[in-house]
Amino acid sequence: MATDATPAAPLALLAELTHRCPLRCPYCSNPVNLTRVAEELDTATWARVFHEAAELGCLQVHLSGGEPTARRDIPDVVRAASEAGLYTNLITSGVLAGGAKLQALVAAGLDHVQLSVQDAEAGSADRIGGTRGGHAKKLDFARQVQEAGLPLTLNAVVHRQNLDRLPQLIDLALALGAGRLEVAHVQYYGWALANRDALLPTLAQLEAATATVEAARRDLKGRLVIDYVVPDYYARRPKSCMGGWGRQFLAVSPAGRVLPCHAAESLPGFDFPNVREVSLRWAWERSEAFARFRGTAWMPAPCQGCEHAERDWGGCRCQAFALTGDAAATDPACALSPHHHLLDLAVQEAAAATDAFTYREMGRSPAPVG
């Protein structure tokens, strides 16, 4: 049995190939400071990373961004991951990925496509994504994926401004031939934190959405798998973020930094290892950054000794930092946290706010919150 000193192999690698993206989503989960093209890992380095991931025990790789198909070498990247023996999942907006590019990805060994949508209605979807005609391109891309015989997951990031159309999003997933639908409530750190007032749903919306998901899971069993990621702002217990810090997943940023989760670069005081300098195995098994919040020994009261400690693993470190300024603090989603009241204040502020967004722009920083 693995211990905190000898962690078990990760299940999957999130390979963030680029921060370039044709969309301007106000809930973008990428870091505030984006990696420039000149700083991105090259194809050969990614190929080495994929082989190291397979040797470490990873079974699959999620090719993400930004928009991964913004890279000209994306077929070569997919081929390298496939040749390493990894199951390849492309996480894409679909806006740049159709036609000959999709055919090249299929020929390179792509196994699965995960397509993001901003809403079920074109006008709202394009407004949220900050594009013109993007939703129509997504629907056409989904058709091409189906024709290519690839399995499709639809990813719908939901919030106050589209949550009421969750039934239509479920219908859209069925119409597009998706086998899986991810209903993922916005998680509030990075750019999304700056837009929290415009995105945070009401309690009534959340309860209605949860009932919709439960009914759809029952009625569509065998036709559509629905994953449901809820927001923490109405919770009394934190969720097990990424299965626990450094326990099941690892990510590599476009610049090569090895991270316990894709948002970890938002945390100060970390020296995250880089694949240009160390192996993936060394980063996973020996780096201080991964060890710092792995397991339970690091936990403060009231987490230390709590019966839930090895279920939620302390919750989300990025959320703890975003709300309290201390990454080691008890996640405010826990009712026992001395900062739990901050979630109530956020809900009150959102209820009085407008629906105006601050859109994501390359080289631009969001306005501070609070």
Tens digit of each residue's pLDDT (9 = 90 or more) over 38-67: 999 999 999 999 999 999 999 999 999 999
pLDDT(4) > 50:
no
Of the candidates 134, 145, 136, the residue with the CA atom closest to the CA atom of residue 110? 145
- Residue 9's Cβ-side half-sphere holds a number of Cα atoms within 13 Å equal to 11
Of the candidates 94, 90, 97, the residue with the CA atom closest to the CA atom of residue 112? 90
* Residue 217 confidence class, pLDDT cut points 50, 70, 90: very high
Distance CA 182, CA 294 (A): 27
pLDDT(370) > 50:
no
Identity of the amino acid at 143: R
**DSSP codes, 111-136:** -EEEEEES-SSHHHHHHHHT-SSHHH
Phi and psi dihedrals of 181, rounded to 5?
-125, 125
pLDDT(218) > 70:
yes
pLDDT(267) > 70:
yes
On whether the CB atoms of residues 80 and 111 are closer than 8 A, the answer is no
pLDDT(366) > 60:
no
Distance CA 10, CA 147 (A): 33
Question: What distances in angstroms separate CA 52 from CA 59, 93, 284, one per listed residue?
Answer: 12, 28, 11
- What's the pLDDT score for residue 266? 86
Question: What distances in angstroms separate CA 285 from CA 58, 256, 289, 293, 311, one per listed residue?
Answer: 14, 17, 10, 13, 22
Q: Where are the beta strands (DSSP E) in the chain?
A: 12-16, 60-64, 87-92, 112-117, 152-158, 180-185, 225-229, 249-252, 258-259
Tell me the binding residues for [4Fe-4S] cluster: 21, 25, 28
CATH T-level topology, domain 10-369: TIM Barrel (3.20.20)
Tell me the binding residues: 21, 25, 28
Distance CA 50, CA 79 (A): 10
- What's the pLDDT score for residue 3? 42
Strands laid side by side in the 225-229 sheet: 225-229, 180-185, 152-158, 112-117, 87-92, 60-64, 12-16, 249-252, 258-259
- What's the pLDDT score for residue 253? 97
